[in-house]
Structure 1
Amino acid sequence: MSHGFKSKKSAHVAALFAILSGGKINILKLAKLMYLAERESMDRYDEPMFYDDLFSLKHGPITQQSLDGVNGKSDGDVWTLVQRTHYDVCVSDDSISEDCLDELSKADTDIIHDLWTRFGHMKQYDLRDWTHRNCTEWERPDETVRKKPISYKRVFEALGKSDAECLASEAEQYKNIETALDELYSIQDGEPSHPLWPQ
């Protein structure tokens, strides 16, 4: 169950970061950039970019469902644009360009390019450490808990949004409605997109 997660859009975000990195990007670096894309969208537009589930891990915050997609654990038909090879994520075909990524709006690509300008030069562990220092919603898991969920409300609060609770409620409501539509329209061979909601 996707629970409102925009898997195809997330795959296009991952592909664009790989393209900007020359066709191949370290998995840890990509994981941090995916999280920062989701976070930056919440900061600029008061809503997540692809409505992922957020968690705190030892190596910083992550977007869980995106990471599952990159690792081939979910939505395999959607994540064909990229493939993981050991510690890297590569664009699956050299012919894939930014123009192919039609799930991304101008606002989305602006965020991704801006993040690449800010962080593209960093090594993966430097970027991880940056998220530890600057994403105050992240909590270091203790020895008994491998990961801790990060609520949308906590992110909005960390971003200084005065209406954090209301924004988080709207985001969760959107996810719940999308989940209901998934259940209504799902068919045996796949899950069609829903024209009632913007992608």
Structure 2
Amino acid sequence: MLQYKYNKEKAIQLAAIICKHRGGRTDYGSIVKLLYLTDRESISKRGFPVTGDELFSLQHGPVVSHALDAFRHPFSHSHTWLEFFEIEKGNKYVTLKKDPGFDDLSPADIKILKNVLSEYGNWKFSNLRKFTHNAKRFPEYTEIESGRERIDPAEILRQANVSEEDIMKIEAECSAL
């Protein structure tokens, strides 16, 4: 299975841009969906994601795993996210409390995120959930009732018509990191 190197700083910076786009406060479900769509778009176009986060199928659709865990379990997972986001107790909303900037993001990373935000950035979580549950649009997603199942990014590459030979090269490059 293809595994990229996770870049927490890029994930935080993208999440902050998403949160700002949505008025500075939003549900974390929408953030992880939009991060998923950004990484998926990047994999399709460039062969690698922006964040390198692990991709999983969950009951509510495909998501990026580390970011979801950081929002769901902020005190046990990563204090770094808490430096930038206030995670409201008892609900699923987060507020951007400090801008992390975007020094780790390349212009190409930002362009991909802007494309995703222009298309889906104002959608409610329920709409994002319904959209990403579409097997024709997201055949890499596996419908599950509970738990989680890993999504192999190689499936996204195959959907983008990347050859098996090129996928093997990408896997070898990732393994060397």
How would you bin the TM-score normalised by the shorter chain? 0.7 to 0.9
User: How far did 1:177 drift?
Assistant: 4.1
SS at structure 2 position matched to 1:10: helix
If asked which structure has higher relative contact order (CA below 8 Å, sep 6+), I would say: 2
Cα distance between partner residues in 1 of 2:71 and 2:157: 26
SS at structure 1 position matched to 2:79: coil
C-alpha contact 1:56 1:149 (8 A) present in aligned 2: yes
Superposed CA offset, 1:107-163 (max 9, x none): 111111111110122111111111111211101014xx51111011112123x3232
Shift of the 166–74 alpha-carbon distance from structure 1 to 2, 3 Å rule, reads farther
Shift of the 31–172 alpha-carbon distance from structure 1 to 2, 3 Å rule, reads farther
Note the 1:6-155 alignment, pairs <5 A: 6-71=7-72, 72=74, 73-77=76-80, 80-85=83-88, 86-93=91-98, 96=99, 100-133=101-134, 134-142=137-145, 146-155=147-156
Q: How many residues align?
A: 169
Q: Percent identity?
A: 23
Cα distance between partner residues in 2 of 1:151 and 1:70: 23
User: How far did 1:32 drift?
Assistant: 0.7
C-alpha contact 1:7 1:50 (8 A) present in aligned 2: yes
The aligned amino acid for 1:69 is A
Shift of the 79–151 alpha-carbon distance from structure 1 to 2, 3 Å rule, reads farther
Cα distance between partner residues in 1 of 2:116 and 2:17: 12
Corresponding residue for residue 170 of structure 2: 170
User: How far did 1:31 drift?
Assistant: 1.4
Cα distance between partner residues in 1 of 2:105 and 2:54: 19
Q: CA RMSD in A?
A: 2.3
The aligned amino acid for 2:20 is I
Asked which structure has the greater CA Rg, the reply is 1
Shift of the 172–116 alpha-carbon distance from structure 1 to 2, 3 Å rule, reads farther
Shift of the 177–84 alpha-carbon distance from structure 1 to 2, 3 Å rule, reads farther
Cα distance between partner residues in 1 of 2:171 and 2:36: 16
User: How far did 1:91 drift?
Assistant: 0.6
Shift of the 172–75 alpha-carbon distance from structure 1 to 2, 3 Å rule, reads farther
Superposed CA offset, 1:165-185 (max 9, x none): 6336525742x444xxxxxxx
Shift of the 177–147 alpha-carbon distance from structure 1 to 2, 3 Å rule, reads same
TM-score, normalisation: structure 2: 0.84
TM-score, normalisation: structure 1: 0.76
Single out whichever of 15-24 and 84-93 deviates more from structure 2: 84-93
Q: Which runs of 5+ in 1 are unaligned?
A: 179-199
C-alpha contact 2:47 2:170 (8 A) present in aligned 1: no
Cα distance between partner residues in 2 of 1:20 and 1:67: 19
User: How far did 1:81 drift?
Assistant: 1.6
